[in-house]
Amino acid sequence: MSQPAKTNDKRLLTSASYGGGLTFDGDAPAADPSAYAPEQKKRSGWTVAALLVAAIVCLPLFSVIWLAFFPEENIWPHLFRTVLSTYVLNTIVLMIGVALGTFIIGTATAWLVTHYEFPGRSLFNWALLLPFAVPAYVIAYVYTDLLEFAGPVQSLLRSWFDWQLASDYYFPKIRTLPGAIIMMILVLYPYVYLLARAAFLEQSTSIAEAARSLGVSRTARIFRIALPMARPAIVVGLSLVMMETLNDYGTVDYFAVRTLTAGLYDTWLGMNNLGGGAQIATLILVFVMVLIGLEKSSRRNQQNFQPSSSRFRLSSRTRLTRFSAVMATVFCALPVLFGFIIPAWVLSGYTISYFENSWNQDFYRSALHSIGLSSGAALAAVCIGVLLSYSKRLHPTRNMNVSVGIASLGYAVPGAVLAIGVIIPFAAFDNAIDTLATRFFGVSTGLLLSGTVFALVFAYTVRFLAMAYGSINSSMKKISPHMDDAAKSLGHSPAYILRQVHIPLIRGGMLTAALVVFVDCMKELPATLVLRPFNFETLATQVYQFASDELIGQSAIYALLIVLVGLVPVILLSVRIDHSRDIGNHTRDIGD
């Protein structure tokens, strides 16, 4: 699985530094078209297919932007005058807080497990990924339940100190902006950990040794060499974290933190102004494009730091002594404890006490639905990811770059808004077919796609394509273009080359993509609610129905199952990390 990394060569290193733009000089579109006439035809087939798929994937986004042109009334004077500053400020504080927290936890734990030997290291190696399986809204419910006045923590404190009322003592409130920041850090840091860890593993030891021989201190080696070298990967992790933070509604709503997303829903539902809501969604998109732009420019400056994998050598880990070993163990244990063990423990407790109420046909069926949908979306996202990244490799035109970039933006749109964006083109398509069929055949076809699982799988695919594409594309980029050239010179078609050369080499990246999309789909809630067919429940919708009514006990078994099913891919993912260093560029190329 680690083969692709070994095929790296100088040419790729330089070309990769252009940030996914015109990558392979041998393939430059400026080449005389007449000279390659037959091949050109095949190429354009791929390009057309990719552009078509990208356009379809972009439809929901365009619907949202289209809606933004038709607000019920102009919301901005009112928003400017009243709540906009609060929304923006809360959003920024939330994002910075979550980014800082995930950065510190993610990179520090990644550094510890890659460079040091301490008790539990090999366990933490994969256990640090566990919180990835816990949805943010679930962790928010769990900690509110634990830390509120009537929860076990405060009850215990009261019985110790003989307090009676909430006004008798101070206890930090969980349903606040800092509370929301902490909840999100706990479940989102694995993104940073995953990427930072892979980047640290890839770093050549020779550089570290050279630095050491020059007398550079350990701190300086971390901050002046290792971190800057890992920066592109870490920045990708952080941008995923920030996008996830931006589109979160469940947690901020539950914690009453008024962010832009909360304002969006308020404008849409409270003021009955979907167009105004779409304008806020568009504003969020702009925000994200700026983020992606920053990420790309940061990568552009990193060109000289691309490690040469052929010179890769596994660094030996330093064994930590007593005190620092304990500190390292504790530091790695805390995120796992708070992000996974405690929530899973609480949910298990509830599951046991409400077991008889919950274990029924509904439970079994919603589990099946969740798994079916998530698998479908994972497959679709991987296929589209391969199509887009291979077409871009064959024919890296500007059009292609732009459409692929837009196609990855779905990740930043809040779920329910994306759902409306899916409904509009689907219903328009269905109704157009129906009109045609009625006119020419006298048969009404009704709604073919709207309100089916297809709409759901599509929505999931649009939403999570960025992650699938990023992972696949970075694997694809590691394959030397010489291999394409060699295969081409043997007279093989691009499709044959993809099947025989690329796909076997990028299988690892495809697996990562499928797993990440699968886990995210299991957790997806708002789009599922709006788009689902009749009588259709998933695990996430069941959790929501109970938990939004403060019936956390009944929801526990569903939440627990989301976590457990999510664990399978997480474990597979961590096994893969251990066996391959090829993951380093997982989702590096988001929005490329």
Partner 1 sequence: MPIRPKNCAIALATAVSLCTALVSTAAIAAESVNVYSYRQPFLIDPIFDEFTKATGIEVNTVFAKKGLVERLKSEGKNSPADILLTSDFGNIHAAVGADILQPVNSDVLNANVPSEFRDPDGLWFGLTNRARLIVVSKDRLTDNRPARYEDLANPEYKGKICTRSGKHNYMVALTASVIAHAGADEAGKWLNGVKDNLARKPQGNDRAQVKAISQGECDIAIINSYYMGAMLDDEEQTTWANSVDVIFPNQEDRGTHMNISGVALTKASKNRDNAIKLIEYLSGPDAQAIYAEVNHEYPINKSVKPSALVQSWGEFNYDAIPLADITEHRGAASRLTDEVGYDN
Query: Is the CB of 110 or the CB of 455 nearer to partner 1?
Result: 455
Beta carbon of residue 146, minimum distance to partner 1 (angstroms, whole number):
15
Are 410 and 418 within 8 A, CB to CB? yes
Beta carbon of residue 243, minimum distance to partner 1 (angstroms, whole number):
21
Beta carbon of residue 271, minimum distance to partner 1 (angstroms, whole number):
5
Are 562 and 363 within 8 A, CB to CB? no
Query: Is the CB of 294 or the CB of 551 nearer to partner 1?
Result: 551
The alpha carbon of residue 497 and the mean position of all alpha carbons in its chain are separated, in whole angstroms, by 30
Query: Is the CB of 183 or the CB of 274 nearer to partner 1?
Result: 274
Beta carbon of residue 69, minimum distance to partner 1 (angstroms, whole number):
16
Q: DSSP secondary structure string, 529-585? A: HHH--TT---HHHHHHHHHTTT-HHHHHHHHHHHHHHHHHHHHHHHHHHHH-SGGGG
Beta carbon of residue 539, minimum distance to partner 1 (angstroms, whole number):
14
Query: Angle 274-300/227-247 helices, nearest 10 degrees?
Result: 180
Beta carbon of residue 565, minimum distance to partner 1 (angstroms, whole number):
16
Query: Is the CB of 259 or the CB of 480 nearer to partner 1?
Result: 259
Q: CA-to-CA distance for 168 and 82, rounded, in angstroms?
A: 35
107 closest CA partner among 206, 270, 223:
223
Beta carbon of residue 73, minimum distance to partner 1 (angstroms, whole number):
8
Beta carbon of residue 513, minimum distance to partner 1 (angstroms, whole number):
12
Q: CA-to-CA distance for 100 and 106, rounded, in angstroms?
A: 10
Reading the block at residue 297, the tokens are 């420019």
Neighbours of 159 (CB within 10 A): 9
For residue 127, give the 3-state DSSP assignment: helix
Beta carbon of residue 365, minimum distance to partner 1 (angstroms, whole number):
8
First-to-last C-alpha distance (Å) of the chain: 24
Query: Is the CB of 315 or the CB of 445 nearer to partner 1?
Result: 445
Query: Is the CB of 329 or the CB of 450 nearer to partner 1?
Result: 450
Write out the H or E segment, with its range, that includes residue 423.
Answer: helix 415-441
Query: Is the CB of 329 or the CB of 538 nearer to partner 1?
Result: 538
Query: Is the CB of 378 or the CB of 516 nearer to partner 1?
Result: 378
Beta carbon of residue 227, minimum distance to partner 1 (angstroms, whole number):
36
Q: What are phi and psi of 414, to 5 degrees?
A: -55, 140
Q: Side-chain half-sphere of 28: how many Cα atoms within 13 Å?
A: 6
For residue 273, give the 3-state DSSP assignment: coil
Query: Is the CB of 217 or the CB of 444 nearer to partner 1?
Result: 444
Beta carbon of residue 206, minimum distance to partner 1 (angstroms, whole number):
36
* DSSP letter (8 states) at residue 30: T
Q: CA-to-CA distance for 131 and 277, rounded, in angstroms?
A: 32
Beta carbon of residue 116, minimum distance to partner 1 (angstroms, whole number):
38
Query: Is the CB of 213 or the CB of 535 nearer to partner 1?
Result: 535
Beta carbon of residue 267, minimum distance to partner 1 (angstroms, whole number):
9
Q: CA-to-CA distance for 493 and 504, rounded, in angstroms?
A: 16
318 beta partners:
116
Dihedral of the alpha carbons of 30, 36, 39, 40, in degrees to the nearest 10: 40
Q: Return all residues near 307 (Cβ < 8 A) that are at least 6 apart.
A: 202, 203, 204, 229
Q: What share of residues in the chain are helix, strand, coil (percent, to 5)? A: 80, 0, 20
Q: What are phi and psi of 254, to 5 degrees?
A: -65, -35
50 closest CA partner among 377, 389, 378:
389
Reading the block at residue 271, the tokens are 């003021």
- The 3-class SS string of 172-233 reads CCCCCHHHHHHHHHHHHHHHHHHHHHHHHHHCCHHHHHHHHHCCCCHHHHHHHHHHHHHHHH
Query: Is the CB of 57 or the CB of 457 nearer to partner 1?
Result: 457
Query: Is the CB of 21 or the CB of 504 nearer to partner 1?
Result: 504
Q: CA-to-CA distance for 11 and 23, rounded, in angstroms?
A: 10
Write out the H or E segment, with its range, that includes residue 491.
Answer: none
Beta carbon of residue 256, minimum distance to partner 1 (angstroms, whole number):
4
Query: Is the CB of 453 or the CB of 571 nearer to partner 1?
Result: 453
Query: Is the CB of 99 or the CB of 386 nearer to partner 1?
Result: 386
